[in-house]
Amino acid sequence: MTTADLPLPAGSDQPARPATQALSHHLVHTALVRWHFAFAVVFLLTSMTAGFLVSLNFLGHYPFENTSWLAVGRLRFLHTNEIAYGFLVNGFVGAMYYAVPRLTGKPVLSKNLGWVILAVWQTLVVATSVGQLLGFAQGVEWGETPTGFRPGTWELNYIPVDFLIELGAVLVAAQFLTPLARSINRKMYVTGWYLTAGIVWLVLTYVMGNTLPEWNLPGASGAATVGLFIHDLVGLFVTPMGWGLMYFFVPIILRKPMWSHALSVIGFWALAFFYPLNGVHHFLLSSIPMSVQYGAVISTMAVEIVVTTVIVNFFATMSGRGHALRTNLPIRWFYTGMIFYFITCLQCAFHTSLTMQKTIHFTDWVPGHAHLVMLGVFAFWIFGIITWLWPRLTGNEWYNRRLNQWHYWLTMIGLLIMFVDLLAAGVIHGFLLDSLAPWMDIVNAMKPYWAVRTFSGAMILIGSVLWTVNLVLTALNPKPYDYRVDLVDEVESTGPHAGEAGAA
Amino acid sequence: MDRFANIIAFAGLGCFALAFALSGLYPYLITASTRPEASIAELAQDVPATFHELKERFPVAFAAAHAESDAALTARELAGMQDGDPRHDASEAAWQAAYARALQHGRDRYVAEGCWHCHSQYVRPVSNESVRFGPVSTWVQDHNALQRPVLWGTRRVGPDLTYEGRLRSNDWHVAHFLKPKAVTPGSVMPPFPWFFRDGWQVHRRIDPEVAERTGLSADTSYPLPGVYDTQAEAESALGRAQQELPSSLAAERERLFVTEGNGLNQDGLAMLAYIQWLGTWMPPENEPE
């Protein structure tokens, strides 16, 4: 890889820039970055609040039992959908407005289109949530966005959100594929591969999951497609976006290139090939033909190899910069996320065996696993990206850097508690199922674990609230920001002076 | 391979298409495409007694949900009829149409309320599930229009519902939807009170002396016939009822009051019909090739 392929470190492209000015780059529309991040954080909070409320039901004290539009079942849709479409998409799109023009040397298609996308997308996320709360959800997991049609018919009963989201996704694709296609480097850097493919996959995956199982593919074949949709949404949209941005931000912050280009290539192509083949592992031991199930099992195990190459590459890149984990909070978010990613994927390789499926499927083990991925990996990365960029975007020094540390520790420890708690609950659920214990024995056995889950959820929610307060106050309180405090110095080892570059 | 066009062609389109062919299209070709999917009308051929019962128990909501309800005659009405009376056949057809509509509506509510995030509809060949719930699920059995999209679910907070139909009485389910905790102590299933409000009714509270004598709560009340859309209509019905009472029963007038109706409404009826249907339909035998 030549250095021309590398994204330039932030700031170094305009050496004459005074150290204390808000970021400006002739190609980057900072206002769009800021607004997408702001909406991402709003939906993060509403989604987490919904999750927290749902957890109260499991303690036997749900305060809104008689309010149909705050029903537990409906809030659960909102919890997952706002995280996926409200938080993750806004976070990724915001980060792409920052990264793509810098990477390609070309502006996005149109700034005005950017404002249209911003407005349309938020409207759709809100329309999704409102539709779900009013009782128009669609029966596809992670895709409960209302089709607007009665299932299997063409009778319209609500805003056809699905089709509009497809349209929105096409606009996003046009916005970012244009600069990626016209990049000044004929050979794209790794980030470009991931983002390009991820955008195309988003459009295809969304169309597939929101039309075929409803109108074309019945029963077991529909289930196979639903599994594929669930998996592609995470594996072919969220994952490539996340890794693409890691390949962009990690070298910038650490100020050194990735360790191995060959590993980057293997990681990308193996992801593209194996990941989508995993879909059916969401419905193992079902009536989907066994040949299809075994295919999914084997490719799921193969993914573990891919993951290892990527992790090795990133941790090798870290060599000589280990102190950044202590001194640089964004790097700490990123690398904690990568460790969780490794754990998650290692889990997958075992989960997918039919022996383990037998016990853990249908139990809280799976939500435990899902929280480690969606929160522990991708949300952590977006937290890191926003934390890295926010002072640059506003030009203001953090209102309070310690609040960011609180955010990290509350979220990280809260998540670990939740994870271990739900895994334990899942195993017990699985064995009680096998034992033919009466159903209420299973429910009662889960209750202590559900209490711990609510507690850990509260920790995570509080962490995010503190961070949000910090983001808002930072934006409102002008205080000169010197970006040099956040640069990772190039010492070879963690010397005694390393920590002084700025406490995160 | 690191050119834009190659990424789009091989990764973006190629890998996606391959995966779809192997894990979406291939299962479709070897299962669903080999036999026709059962339509909702086919699923609703045999109208069960539990559905007939709904018309008698919740006549107002039933009539509102089903225009055919006049033609759909209850067992008592049919009993007094001559053989060959044309109303027999009309009644049968009306029942099937009403049942089909209720199943579809019920499935829609099952999706919208997120029941499928707490209940599965697939029995696996492991963990003694076939002992606990019933025969292991086959794809043929799910090859019907009510499984669009499939409601297999991925989490079991409550038990699997594949074979829930006929397992319990309508009354059990009605009480359970209203107050799961009262029926199953310690349950974490949320109540669904919005399956119940079907308008306004005039109620008559029990005579306190009778309550005293029989050990009933003094708050016990019984609805008078009639359900009204608005509170105002119910109030005027209350006024009429009070006037009709002879002056010797003046004390009774005070015991009449208007309250929200607590029978099942259309959503609740449909939900119940759907739950009672689950697992009762068996696919016709495969025709020999």
Supply the pLDDT for residue A482.
87
CA distances from A397 to A75, A171, A253, A401, B173 (A): 37, 34, 18, 9, 60
Torsion sign over Cα A492, A495, A497, A498: positive
Chain mean pLDDT for chain A: 91
Rounded CA separation A191/A267 (Å): 12
Sheet holding B200-205, edge to edge: B221-223, B200-205, B256-260
For residue A391, name the pLDDT band (cuts at 50, 70, 90): very high
Tell me if B30 and A289 make a contact (CB, 8 A cut-off): yes
More confident residue, A307 or A76: A76
Any idea which of A450-454, B126-130, B285-289 has the lowest mean pLDDT?
B285-289
More confident residue, A3 or B237: B237
Q: Which of A21, A115, A326 is nearest to A10 (CA)?
A: A21
> What tens digit of pLDDT does each residue of A322-363 get?
999 999 999 999 999 999 999 999 999 899 999 999 999 999
Rounded CA separation B204/B213 (Å): 18
Place of tokens 């291939």: B26
% residues pLDDT > 70 (chain B): 98
Position A179 pLDDT exceeds 90: yes
Tell me if B109 and A135 make a contact (CB, 8 A cut-off): yes
Q: Which residues touch A214 (CB under 8 Å, ≥6 apart)?
A: A138, A140, A147, A149, A151, A152, B148, B149
**Contact indicator for B178, B196 with CB cutoff of 8 Å:** yes
pTM here is 0.90
Which chain A residues have a beta carbon less than 8 Å from that of B8? 196-197, 200
Supply the pLDDT for residue A85.
96
Report strand pairing: B256-260 vs B221-223.
unpaired
Phi (first) and psi of residue A386, to 5 degrees: -65, -40
Position A17 pLDDT exceeds 70: no
Rounded CA separation B135/B271 (Å): 24
Rounded CA separation B285/A233 (Å): 38
Min Cα–Cα distance to chain B from A117, Å: 22
Supply the pLDDT for residue B251.
81
Task: Identify which of A224, A289, A359 has the shortest CB distance to residue B24.
Answer: A224
Which chain B residues have a beta carbon less than 8 Å from that of A73? 113-115, 117-118, 190
Supply the pLDDT for residue A418.
98
Which chain A residues have a beta carbon less than 8 Å from that of B179? none
Rounded CA separation A326/A480 (Å): 24
For residue A491, name the pLDDT band (cuts at 50, 70, 90): low
**Contact indicator for A211, A263 with CB cutoff of 8 Å:** no
Q: Which of B8, B119, B102 is nearest to B58 (CA)?
A: B102
> What tens digit of pLDDT does each residue of A395-436 get?
999 999 999 999 999 999 999 999 999 999 999 999 999 999
Torsion of CA A98, A81, A439, B123, to 10 degrees: -100
**Contact indicator for A264, A300 with CB cutoff of 8 Å:** no
Position A490 pLDDT exceeds 90: no
Min Cα–Cα distance to chain B from A220, Å: 6
Rounded CA separation B266/A135 (Å): 14
Position B210 pLDDT exceeds 90: no
Beta bridge partners of B256: B204
Position A286 pLDDT exceeds 80: yes
Position B82 pLDDT exceeds 70: yes
B34 in A contact zone (CB under 8 Å): no
Supply the pLDDT for residue A498.
42
For residue B287, name the pLDDT band (cuts at 50, 70, 90): low
Tell me if B114 and A73 make a contact (CB, 8 A cut-off): yes
In this structure, what token pair is assigned to residue B75? 């067992």
**Amino acid at position A69, single letter:** W
Report strand pairing: B221-223 vs B200-205.
antiparallel
H or E segment and range at residue A392: helix A380-394
Min Cα–Cα distance to chain A from B228, Å: 21
B281 in A contact zone (CB under 8 Å): no
Mutation pick from B128, B148, B161, B176 vs chain A, by most beta carbons of A within 10 Å, is B148
**Contact indicator for A251, A227 with CB cutoff of 8 Å:** no
Position A124 pLDDT exceeds 90: yes
For residue A23, name the pLDDT band (cuts at 50, 70, 90): low
**Contact indicator for A483, A11 with CB cutoff of 8 Å:** yes
For residue A22, name the pLDDT band (cuts at 50, 70, 90): low
B6 in A contact zone (CB under 8 Å): no
Count Cβ atoms within 10 A of the Cβ of residue B214 and give its class: 0-12 exposed, 13-18 middle, 19 or more buried. Answer: exposed
Tell me if B149 and A226 make a contact (CB, 8 A cut-off): yes
Rounded CA separation B56/B176 (Å): 20
Task: Identify which of B8, B23, B129 has the shortest CB distance to residue A292.
Answer: B23
H or E segment and range at residue A116: helix A111-134
Q: Please spell the DSSP secondary structure of A225-264, one letter per residue.
A: HHHHHHHHIIIIIIHHHHHHHHHHHHHHHHTS--S-HHHH
> What tens digit of pLDDT does each residue of A251-278 get?
999 999 999 999 999 999 999 999 999 9
**Amino acid at position B212, single letter:** E
CB contacts under 8 A, B 184-223 vs A, are 184-188, 190-194
Nearest CA in chain B to A235: B16
Rounded CA separation A380/A393 (Å): 19
Three-class secondary structure of residue A24 per DSSP: coil
B89 in A contact zone (CB under 8 Å): no
A10 conformational bin, left if phi > 0, alpha if psi -120 to 50, beta if neither: beta
Q: Which residues touch B214 (CB under 8 Å, ≥6 apart)?
A: none
> What tens digit of pLDDT does each residue of B134-172 get?
999 999 999 999 998 899 999 999 999 999 998 999 999
Supply the pLDDT for residue A499.
44
> What tens digit of pLDDT does each residue of A181-199 get?
998 888 889 999 999 999 9
Supply the pLDDT for residue A442.
97
Tell me if B120 and A362 make a contact (CB, 8 A cut-off): yes
Supply the pLDDT for residue B118.
97
Beta bridge partners of B201: B259
Position A503 pLDDT exceeds 90: no
Highest mean pLDDT range out of A77-91, A307-321, B27-41, B44-58?
A77-91
Tell me if B190 and A288 make a contact (CB, 8 A cut-off): no
Nearest CA in chain A to B188: A58
Q: Which residues touch A272 (CB under 8 Å, ≥6 apart)?
A: A197, B10, B11, B15
B153 conformational bin, left if phi > 0, alpha if psi -120 to 50, beta if neither: left
Chain mean pLDDT for chain B: 89
- Say how many CB pairs under 8 Å bridge A and B: 259
Min Cα–Cα distance to chain B from A343, Å: 22
Rounded CA separation B94/B100 (Å): 10
Rounded CA separation A284/A366 (Å): 13
Any idea which of A29-43, A51-65, A131-145, B30-44 has the lowest mean pLDDT?
B30-44
Position A378 pLDDT exceeds 90: yes
Mean pLDDT of B223-229: 77
Mean pLDDT of A222-236: 93
Q: Which of B6, B15, B146, B27 is nearest to A205 (CA)?
A: B15
Rounded CA separation B189/A439 (Å): 12
The b/e string for A357-384 (b: 16+ C-beta within 10 A; e otherwise) is: bbbbbbbbbbbbbbbbbbbbbbbbbbbb
Supply the pLDDT for residue A495.
45
Rounded CA separation A503/A482 (Å): 13
More confident residue, A121 or A216: A121
